[in-house]
Structure 1
């Protein structure tokens, strides 16, 4: 569900407020899925391509990785930092691509953004309204204003922050095996997920 957004041209995205960006792109991504039988039938390769080309440009994976690493980020050398961003990005894409493949005509309500006084950060609260008998799922997008538009740096699903959730895992892995140990864990996990395509 975290990826029910952000399929929009960069030029247009620069001109939109965060809630308008989310609302417009949610509609566009859903329309793409509804019109494509392969996507509706769970074609993983096509879904990954959709995520890579239409969604990821609107996420700040560097900041997400920094926040997930916490105090350990500064102890990684630049080469390690770049690898961490790449591996974390890959992990999130492969782990959460299923969010789009499980779409079944849910309704997504986008509420007005709560923007901080400086105007550079905002939270966009959305609710995924599921089928009969299922509880709505709140999904909040923490966003920051960049020169090329608003970017997501955290996603909170039902009160659980993605960044905070990974921070605990990363902290434990770094304590056990250092930065290189964490990198190996991420690389191995991504290879495992790739093998399940």
Structure 2
């Protein structure tokens, strides 16, 4: 029998290149690992590239600088909390149930994602000595508050309730509560009972 002229390599499945979104997420995951262990000042983009087995080009094609990457890590946490809020409302049996579910999800988040909260605290300190970082952080936090306020408005409309204050003000209160409880939990993990967030949120919103 004659040998087949078929190229053996043609039988192998073609390697699929990761999408831009997949690469971006891989950078964020590696950055969280590096900055979580070494801090913002101690970590570097070289270390992020090594941790994620990425090229420097893959990082710079998604983030222009270390500052932009760290801010994106913090912003990702905000997006996750927005998602928690919408999920709680969509699966709830009334306003009290929705706020209780949201409080439970936020409590799990603040206890389970201490790394990002430490990054926020470090950013706050660094920004006081770096005007450029301070301005970038100001813009990032304004975007986070805007997303949170819009989520509050959507949730209130779905639940048929009136917020006790403008959404732009309420989101500042909730972010402050969340970040403050996260800091206290990080210092003393017995200081934040599981129902503490709900005991504040439910009567505040439904007063």
| TM-score bucket of the superposed structures, by smaller chain | 0.3 to 0.5
Between Structure 1 and Structure 2, the one with more strand by share is 1
Please give the TM-score of this superposition, normalised by the length of structure 2. 0.31
TM-score with structure 1 setting the length: 0.32
Select the structure with the greater relative contact order (CA < 8 A; seq sep ≥ 6): 1
Larger Rg: 2
From the two aligned structures, give the one with the greater helix fraction. Answer: 2
